[in-house]
Amino acid sequence: MQNKIKLILLSTVFSTGAGVLIMEVAAVRLLAPYFGSSLYVLSSVLTVVLLALSMGYYYGGKLSDKLPYHLPLYMIITMGGFSLLSLSFCALIFLPSAGPAMPLMVGPLFFSICFFFIPALLLGIDSPYVIKLLSQEVGLEESGGVVGATFFWSTAGSITGSLASGFFLIPTFGLIQTMTATGLFFVLMGVIAGLSVRSLLRQSPNYDKRNDIPLQTPAIIMVTIAISLSYLLMTHTTHANAVYEDDGYYSHIYIYDDELNGRPVRYLKRDVNNSSAIHLDGDDLVYAYTKFAPLFSYLKPDAKNFLMLGGGSYTIPKAIHASYPEINIDVVEIEPSLFEIAKKYFRLPDTDKITNHINDARVYLQKSDKKYDVIYVDTFSTGHFVPPHLATKEYLELLKNTLNDDGVIIINFIGTRPSTDNRTMTGSFTKTVTSVFPKVDLYTAQPSAGRFPQNLMFVLRNNSDLPSFDEEVTIDIGDKDISLNSLQIEPDSLIKKADKIITDNQNPVESLLLKERFLY
């Protein structure tokens, strides 16, 4: 009997350890559509969960001294699962409206406290409680082994939960389904394990009747409500007008149709980013920054190959293939599902001239020994943030080495024209670019944006003697052709004395981006 109870108790700490990590990973993904997946979101979730666990350990120890019985433990676990279900449902209801109204630095911390503190606190109570219950059976002389076993199985559960959520549960079943199943699991586990332990304890001649808490009626009520909440969560639709919606490995993917300038448009939204779009009534490109891609032909008319870093909805590879069907196009996209999504929803042709590589852009450059005539860079994490490792001098040197001597690189960068003398992300990135490439031409894709965030297009060459765009080159911006040279700005105009070159070792990209966005 004692061995069975010990097995149930150690299984309990394993399960709660796994559940907390599943909740932690899910929390980051739940907040990402509103605040991105930056360090601020991750740090906020980690801070709140660790604070909740530490308080759970503290109060769990005190509570176990006052109520050293099994059933209170399982009632608390049931409440933890119930709170996770309830607060997850509240998050789905309130985040779409309240999330965009909160600042990027404050919102993740605030909502982490609102939606994840209580479940983590309640689930954190179990470890000291299990130690207390097991120690009562073995005595003080074996308490060290009890503590070691408890933390071993709790940590093993955390490892399992971390791997399972990231590699299997969320990608396979979805974010909402994973959170719902986790909450419902703890409600059912608390009820079933509590009743099982009580049944085993009743077989002992020394049975403590204080374990005889009437459980049947509250258990039925809790399970009924939990199942109802689970149903509401599973049937909740985040976007009623979605053409397609799913959780990818790196972002929440949402495709919807709308109108732009009186024309029907299909958008790809990844977390908070409207990352790309197509016209449903034609093949012309929607966004101004994408219209810079075909201009490579003025600088490298004999291009044989084209590398696209960041596929999105693959509108640029599609446009390049339509205009230059003889060019071999390699696309590097880290989100595995987007290539097939682009074929189904964004009219990407199925051709052997477009080769997809599921990889991180920098990893691909490091491993590939191929040289390219044209490289177009359109790599962003959520929030239109440049991934920190894709903004450093070392990364730009990889780009430079991947380019043929007379080739051209076009980088899409969302930045601002500095209004202060302080260090900025735009100025620091521009300084980093000019430290690597001998020829840098810079254009704005939104001439009327002023100092507000806008697409800045870097056109880079490996040789300063290579030509820039001729004066007669035009680009369609806002349904009219304008001279490309009228969009040109001097790189030095963006660089202030405080700006520094970004390196792998000194890489404050996320803090610089956040400060820059706060100014506007």
Q: 243-298 pLDDT, tens per residue?
A: 898 888 888 888 999 998 889 999 998 877 788 999 999 999 999 999 999 999 99
* Domain 2-235 of CATH type 3.40.190: no
Q: What is the pLDDT of residues 444-501, one digit of tens each?
A: 987 765 667 889 999 999 998 888 999 889 998 877 888 998 999 999 999 999 999 9
pLDDT in tens, 41-84: 889 999 999 999 999 999 999 999 998 888 889 889 999 998 99
- The backbone torsions φ and ψ at residue 136, rounded to the nearest 5 degrees and listed phi first, read -65, -30
Greatest distance between any 2 Cα atoms in the chain: 97
Q: Is 271 left (phi over 0), alpha (psi -120 to 50) or beta?
A: left
Domain ranges for the chain, please list them: 2-235, 287-518
What is the per-residue pLDDT across 314-352, written as a single tens digit (0 to 9) for each?
999 999 999 999 999 999 999 999 999 999 999 999 999
Reference 180, options 317, 87, 295; nearest CA is 87
Report the C-alpha gap between 78 and 190 in whole angstroms.
Answer: 5
Q: What is the CA radius of gyration of the chain?
A: 28
- Angle, CA 107 vertex, CA 105 and CA 111 arms, to 5°: 140
Report how many helices (DSSP H) and strands (DSSP E) the chain contains, helices first.
Answer: 16, 14
**Does position 236 have pLDDT exceeding 60, yes or no?**
no
The pTM for the full model equals 0.79
Averaged confidence pLDDT in the chain: 87
Q: Please state which architecture CATH assigns to domain 287-518.
A: 3-Layer(aba) Sandwich (3.40)
